[in-house]
Chains A and B, each alone.
Chain A
Amino acid sequence: MAKQIEVSDLDAYYGSHKAIAGVTMTIEPRAVTAFIGPSGCGKSTFLRTLNRMHEVIPGARVEGKVRLEDEDLYGPNVDPVSVRRTIGMVFQRPNPFPTMSIFDNVAAGLRLNGRFSRSELNGIVEESLKGANLWNEVKDRLGKPGAGLSGGQQQRLCIARAIAVRPQVLLMDEPCSALDPISTLAIEDLISRLKLDYTIVIVTHNMQQAARVSDKTAFFNLAAQGQPGMLVEMDETSKIFTNPAKKATEDYITGRFG
């Protein structure tokens, strides 16, 4: 299921504003890659270019290449809708569909993809909720609105919704930033389990979290104020946190700026 992503020389724009410039990197399958960097350096923007969510913002566009194994995601005949079905996303703020029940939230992506019998749906929904570590808490109220859950539960519901369609990659943009430490740990555990099956990319402002969950870490920074963001370095997480190659990385992770 999991696939490798290769990005080469990628620029992303909002209208005429260049938000990131010249990013080249390889994201390994069945591993967790963390993006860190100061606010506004383009982590979210870059993450969203990986599943073509960037271009849903009016005026936003991308230059460069993103390949999923052998496929160019920005190729002329590629349908962004099918890219997003293959590369799932979890957002910073939990965003379940408020008018749908817990069950329907998890089944939402499946229902887009095709016809499933009721029993198939039941099976996948249960499996996804178990995968997201939420099943025990909600199994007795699957018919209740998803918005009635706590923030941490809602975020796990969103993860269940994202993995229900069996994506090959899972992108997470600060998935724990709105959560308490216990929910955060629950989601970190979940990430460690999910990486057995998925390629996972996570944006985080929490250095300990990056150190705990990720195998590779990429540090982004602005070259200067008003300049586009860029990739400073990317390496094994242990190396980035103990012996980074660049001075800026060391300054950032030791808290000397940003």
Chain B
Amino acid sequence: MRRSAFRRSRGDGPFRFVSTGAGVILLAVMAAIGVFLIIKAIPALQANTAHFLTELTWSPNATEPAFGIGSLAFGTVLSSFLALIIATPVAVGVALFISHYAPRRLASLLGYVVDLLAAVPSVVYGLWGVTFLVPFMLGPSKFLNTYFGWIPIFGGDQVVGKSMLTASLVLAIMILPIIAAISREVFLQAPKIQEEAALALGATRWEMIRMAVLPFGRPGVISAAMLGLGRAMGETIAVALIFPATFNISFRILSANGNSIAANIANGFGEATEVGRGALIASGLVLFVITLLVNMAARLVIARRKEYARAAA
């Protein structure tokens, strides 16, 4: 039989085998982990005397275990979103400065510093937060409370250093470098021909950025922000050191409120009973679901901009 001129090239077979195998194994391991965690969580959820999704308090180690994810999920989402709102504009500004404003030498130095900061372990930020930021924030927090207390989130009678605001700030500082680093990469890839089109029309540098760089970079910035949000939500040590570990729902970010799923796990796993551990694992699964939802939402936002992204290519 004549050999076809279109036969599969030889390297393809083994490569396909290896890559498919790796993919299957990865999925199997993840499924196994998920099943293991769910099996651990079920007995605790059955022993729970409160409603897991709505209960605010957390006492799974009592003889009558009663615990719920309510306040923890709230604290996780609030602190992460505050961090995101604080970090993203600053990160985008830093990224634009590096990609389009700074002279070349300064830009590469700054880029290096940002990459370095993105690699700092979170516990370092946590320790810095506790030793420096917690006492430092007392002054600004009192100021906000006194003069902007009429805005509900700055209201309240007692103002403390270990507050939701301080924790969110530490998270913001922690996720800022990663958002800045990714945004800078995206901004650097903005097509030169469109930048020149804007400049040739008589755009100033900022106008050029608004016309040719930001629209191009938006999906990338959203992805970077979501990556940062995911990090903030999963962050354990940095916030475990700072959150006052209360179990209530309050928007007063200057008062002693705040906790998160990850911080609660870090603080509680050591002394937990069998049921207590199951309860913490269940909370971890909730965190996983929240992160998943956030990621899906981000993908939707990016997909909605696809038409433009495709047009830009």
Contact = CB atoms under 8 A, between A and B. Distances in A.
Q: Do A and B bind each other?
A: yes
Interface of A: 51, 53, 56, 58, 81-82, 84-86, 88-89, 91, 93, 95-100, 108-109, 112-113, 145, 147-148, 158, 161-162, 165
A53 B199 contact: yes
A158 B199 contact: no
Contact of A109 (B194, B202, B204, B312): B202
Nearest to B200: A89
A97 B202 contact: no
Contact of B200 (A84, A98, A99, A100): A84
Nearest to B104: A58
Contacts of B215: 97-100
A85 B202 contact: yes
Contacts of B211: 97, 100, 108
A86 B201 CA distance: 9
Contacts of B311: 98-99, 145, 147-148
A231 to B, nearest CB: 23
A85, A93, A112: residue with the most chain B Cβ atoms closer than 10 Å: A112
Contact of A98 (B104, B199, B204, B312): B312
Contact of A53 (B191, B196, B216): B196
Given A97-B215, A98-B311, 10 more contacts: A81-B204, A85-B201, A91-B193, A91-B197, A95-B191, A95-B196, A100-B215, A108-B211, A158-B197, A161-B197
B197 A56 contact: no
**Would you list the 8 A-B pairs with minimal beta carbon distance, nearest first?**
A85-B202, A147-B311, A99-B215, A98-B311, A89-B200, A109-B201, A98-B312, A95-B193
20 contacts: A58-B104, A81-B202, A81-B203, A82-B202, A84-B199, A84-B201, A85-B201, A86-B202, A95-B193, A96-B197, A97-B194, A97-B198, A98-B194, A99-B215, A99-B216, A100-B215, A109-B201, A113-B202, A165-B201, A165-B202
Interface string B174-217: 00000000000000000101101111111110010001100110
A51, A53, A98, A100: residue with the most chain B Cβ atoms closer than 10 Å: A98
Q: How large is the interface on B (under 10, 10 to 19, 20 to 34, 35 or more residues)?
A: 20 to 34
Contacts of B308: 98-99, 145
B212 to A, nearest CB: 7
A100 B308 CA distance: 9
A161 B201 contact: yes
A121 to B, nearest CB: 15
Interface of B: 104, 191, 193-194, 196-204, 207, 211-212, 215-216, 307-308, 311-312
Given A93-B193, A95-B194, A147-B311, A88 B104 contact: no
A249 B212 CA distance: 40
A56 B197 CA distance: 12
B285 to A, nearest CB: 40
A3 B193 CA distance: 27
A96 B194 CA distance: 7
Nearest to B307: A145
Nearest to A109: B201
Contacts of A161: 197, 201
Contacts of B207: 112
Contacts of A97: 194, 197-198, 211-212, 215
A98 B190 CA distance: 12
Contact of A112 (B193, B196, B201): B201
Contacts of B312: 98-99, 147
B191, B199, B204, B207: residue with the most chain A Cβ atoms closer than 10 Å: B199
B27 to A, nearest CB: 37
Nearest to B207: A112
Contacts of B196: 53, 56, 91, 95
A84 B199 CA distance: 7
A31 to B, nearest CB: 22
A95 B216 CA distance: 13
A108 B210 CA distance: 11
